[in-house]
Chains A and B, each alone.
Chain A
């Protein structure tokens, strides 16, 4: 089974990049390939030009939160000390990152007794041990309460915007990254669907016009153009992308087409995301490379 096929994108420093796609789109597989945990059949992933496995002291370059993984009988602080040792970092880093994620009071408790939110924080603390320039987080908001999500958003933005780090967070929910991410990379069925800033995506959501007409075919022909997409959403109903209501009304008038309804629809980002990932053909960009 091919989980990820010819997916190519890049992530830049100083920004939070959202890595979006429905469950099963290949997000986790992609991240694990980037981190050398899964070997891809073809292709490479590099961090600042170097494959993860070739990095000296990888945890000082890249921090990753992939899943909640710790021995339940070990305290949170001891868990961090284990990975301090492995990376040759001073043990004091364990206490520093515990404080950074607000877990100091629970540091001496067994990780097996942690709540889901505390586990996510411990995972984040593990990723921060080496003070890495690049942070990769797989579904970090899972299990966080609203307050925790608020905190995480602020924390990640601070790491990217104020400290110039590269932050990549995956999620299956656009709403989750909407307030955090500057850019998004959207995947569906293992392929790149869209890559761009959230503003670009918002522009896209603004340009839809809904029309009801008894002469749908005639109007569709009149509207056809290079940047225009006309979809028949129901008998006698068209959704037009790439034209304003003024332009549609003018062309309908010129073509002598009777209109029963003409309105602009500003669909939310969520809807654009849904359309992108539900396999609407015209949006399925070729798996191109972007650097």
Chain B
């Protein structure tokens, strides 16, 4: 528990967490405003007041998972980048415990980001949607989608820590994760021969977790969430065994 609190102190005494939170909120607010402004059949988006509109807005937080992913990656890799791995592992020679503390600390940090992002999304959609005719209706499926979108932000923070433990190099881990998310996975998903594997990949799992009405090619929402969490934990365990235990010179 001391180690978890130590991680929070680390996070709160540098500016990166604050900036990522700010950017995440701005992105979510911006996307929400865009979806609301362009709502209507003529733009190919569901019109305000429809159930589909509510669900589209509810999925917005899942669009900024890259923020908590980067937060988690930096949380782990900064120890190597700034060589603070030395005092950190001196304070806790059990390196596995350090990784577990980071997973817990960044899950909570991810939750804070999630609450803020969901709040901004709901507020912007409520005010702007209301001005355009109707605020989203959170009474139906949309509320569940919104909650799971927020939860995806938490899971991505955990995945970030796992990737960071595995890769250790901050730039490599961030760039690698972004290339995977925005280049590799879309390609895999677009090729018919490999697209059947997509549902088991992180992107497919995220889609399963937050999709309002999923096709047969996606897993169930909770399966998707657990699969995502599994990816993060497997990366963290592999990272601990293969990378974090290596000599710190």
Contacts and interface: CB of A to CB of B under 8 A. Distances in A.
B82 A70 contact: yes
Given A32-B249, A67-B86, A69-B83, A78 B91 contact: no
Give the size range of A's interface with the partner. Answer: 20 to 34
B223 interface: no
Contacts of B249: 28-29, 32, 37-38
Nearest to B98: A86
Interface stretch (A58-66, A252-260, A263-271): A58-66
Interface in B16-68: 16
Interface string B57-95: 000000000000000000000100011111111111110
Nearest to A77: B13
Interface in B75-128: 78, 82-94
Contacts of A32: 247-249
Interface residues of B, number: 27
B90 A82 contact: no
A36 B94 CA distance: 10
Contacts of B247: 32, 37-39
A105 interface: no
A69 B84 contact: yes
B133 to A, nearest CB: 46
A53 B96 CA distance: 12
B93 A59 contact: no
Given A73-B15, A85-B2, 19 more contacts: A29-B249, A35-B90, A36-B93, A38-B248, A39-B247, A53-B93, A66-B86, A69-B83, A69-B85, A69-B87, A70-B82, A70-B84, A71-B13, A71-B78, A74-B14, A81-B9, A81-B13, A82-B6, A88-B2
The list of the 9 closest CB pairs from A to B, nearest first, reads A86-B6, A78-B13, A85-B6, A53-B93, A69-B83, A86-B91, A38-B247, A37-B248, A88-B2
Interface of A: 28-29, 32, 35-39, 52-53, 55, 58-59, 62, 64, 66-67, 69-75, 78-79, 81-83, 85-88, 126
